[in-house]
Chains A and B, each alone.
Chain A
Amino acid sequence: MSTRRWFAPAALSLGLACGVFGYLRPVLGQKHGAHAWHAQAPLPARSLYGLDSEFVTDSRARLEFGALRGHFQILALIFTRCPTVCPMLVHDLKALERAMPADVSAATRFTLVSIDPEHDTPEALGAYRIKHELDEEHWFLLRGEPEAVRDLSALLGFSFSGAGGAAIAHSKLVTVLNRDGEVILQQESAAADPEKIIDAIARAL
C-alpha cells in the first residue's frame, strides 16, 4: 500500500518532467553546428553574428556569417579589382599573421569580404587567393549579396559607394572580433599597430 501511495505522485511528476523537457528541447538543442562553440551560450547582444546574412566562399561553399564563431576573426572588406590599397592591406595582414605567436595564430582566422559582389565571383576570389598565397585553413574569402555586404559594412562603420556610377571608395579598416563576434578592436590599417592587434587577441585568449 505504501508503495502505491508513493507511486502516483511520482508518476505525475515524471510526466510533468517529460512535458517540460519536451517544451525545452527545441530551445536547448538549437543548431548543432560544425563548431563546438555553437552549443555554448547565446550570442552576446552586440555580436556581429546577430546578422543573419549568408555568404559564399571562394570554393562555392555557403557560409552563414555566424559560422565564423569560435575563432578570433580579423575582418577586412576588399575588392579584387582594387588597384593599390587592397593588395597593401592583404600584404599587411600577412605580415601580421607571421608576427603572431603560435597560440594567437591558432585561435585566429582572417576573413576578407568583397564589397564588389557583382564582379567578385567565387572564381575571382579563388584567383585572388592563389595570387596572394592565402592558405585555406586560416583565410576566408567571402562573397555576399549586396544587401548583406551593405549591412556588414554599416555595422563596421566602413564607407563605400557603389551606386550612381561613383567609384568604389574604400579604406584599409581592419576589425578584430572575439570568439563570439564582438568587436574588440578597430584599426585604420593592420600596419598601423600590429602589436596592438596581437595583444588584444592574446589578452582575450
Chain B
Amino acid sequence: MHAPKQPARYAVLGVVCALALSGAARTRSVAAQAREPLLVERGTSISARTPEAAPFAPLGRLARSSKRDVPAGEYLPFYRGNDRKKTLSVRAFRIDTRPVSAAEFATFVRANPNWRRSRIKPLFAEASYLADWGRDTDPDPATLGAPVTSVSWFAAKAYCTSIGFRLPTTVEWERALQVFGEDFVVHASQSTGARSAASLWEWTADFNSIPIAGDASESVTNLFCGAGARANDASDYGAFLRYSLRSSLKADFALKNLGFRCAEDEP
C-alpha cells in the first residue's frame, strides 16, 4: 500500500478539508465575539447575539438611563445674527438625565464590532478612541459607571441611533441646561471614575454649526469678522466656553473630557 488506490477519493477529501478549514476560519472571529458575554451595568450578562449584517444590533432599552422632558420654549442663542435680540423656538423633546456611561457604551461596542477600538474606520475616530479602555470591549472596571469619553462624534451618533435615539442639537442641549440648571451639567470630578479633567464636555448633533437667530444667511461671515462682539450675553462665560470648544472640534476627535448623551423627539 505505498500509493493510495483511489486518488479521486483523496482529491474529494482534499476539497472537503479545505472547504471546512476555510469555513472555520471565516466563522472563527464571529465565534470569538459570541463567547464574550455582553456586559450590562448591573453585572448580568446576556447571550443573545444579532447577525453582524445589521448596521446596528438593537440593544433594546437595557441599562438605559432615564430621560427628562424638556417642554417647548424659547432659547436666546449665545450668538446673534444681527443687532437685535431674537430667540429661537425649540420644540418639546426628551433628553438623558446624565451622559452615557462607559458600561452602556461597552454593550454597544460588543454588539457592534465595527465600533470597537480595534475595528473602527480611522475616518470615524482618531487613534485616541477609547484609548483608556483596558481591553477592546471593556472599560477600566473603576470607570464603568462614569460617563464614556474618548468617543468621536460618529461613534456617539451611532450609539444613540442604535437604541432608537439621536444626539441632541446644540440648541436643545443649551435649552435643557436652561430648564434644568446646574443639575444638568456633569463635571467629570463628580463621576465615579477617577478622572481629573476639570469638566466634561458633550457632543451635539450639529456641533460644527453656530445657532444664530437672524434672517441674513450671510451673517456667519459677519459673525467671524465681528470676532466675539456679537454675543447676546457676553457675561455668560460658560456658554462662551462651550461654543468655543464645539467650534474647535472635528467629528473624528476622541477627547478625554468629551462625552455625550442622547435625546429624542417628544413622543
Contact = CB atoms under 8 A, between A and B. Distances in A.
Contacts of B77: 166
Given A45-B121, A169-B209, A15 B251 contact: no
Contact of B17 (A16, A45, A47, A163): A16
B219 A15 contact: no
Given A15-B14, A45-B122, A50-B123, 13 more contacts: A7-B3, A8-B3, A11-B11, A19-B18, A20-B18, A22-B18, A83-B217, A151-B154, A155-B123, A161-B212, A162-B206, A167-B217, A171-B221
A7 B7 contact: yes
B169 to A, nearest CB: 5
B218 interface: yes
A167 B7 contact: no
Contact of A163 (B7, B16, B171): B171
Nearest to B124: A50
A14 B11 contact: yes
Contacts of A85: 217-218
Contacts of A159: 208-210, 220, 247
B175 to A, nearest CB: 9
B180 interface: no
Given A12-B11, A13-B14, A164-B171, A154 B217 contact: no
B4 interface: yes
A46 interface: yes
Given A8-B4, A150-B205, A161-B210, A16 B14 contact: yes
Contacts of B54: none
Nearest to A12: B14
Nearest to B166: A147
B53 interface: no
B78 interface: no
Interface stretch (B19-27, B40-48, B131-139): B19-27
Given A11-B7, A46-B123, A82-B217, A160 B14 contact: no
B182 interface: no
Nearest to A18: B15
B90 interface: yes
Contact of A167 (B14, B122, B215, B221): B215
Interface on chain A toward B: helix, strand, loop, or mixed SS? helix
Contacts of B217: 82-83, 85, 167-170
B22 A23 contact: yes
Nearest to B252: A155
A13 to B, nearest CB: 7
Contacts of A165: 88-89, 213
A8 B7 contact: yes
A65 to B, nearest CB: 12
B193 interface: no
B15 to A, nearest CB: 4
Contacts of B212: 161, 166-167, 169
26 contacts: A1-B2, A1-B3, A8-B7, A8-B10, A15-B15, A16-B15, A16-B18, A22-B19, A23-B18, A23-B25, A45-B122, A83-B218, A85-B217, A151-B251, A154-B153, A155-B252, A161-B209, A164-B75, A164-B89, A165-B89, A166-B171, A167-B216, A167-B219, A169-B209, A169-B210, A169-B217
Contact of B251 (A18, A20, A84, A155): A155
Given A154-B208, A155-B123, A164-B211, A19 B88 contact: no
Interface string B198-211: 00000001101111
B33 to A, nearest CB: 20
Contacts of A51: 123
Contacts of A170: 217, 220
Contacts of B58: none
B241 to A, nearest CB: 18
Contacts of A168: 217
A89 interface: no
B41 to A, nearest CB: 29
Contacts of B154: 151, 154
A150 B206 CA distance: 8
A131 B213 CA distance: 31
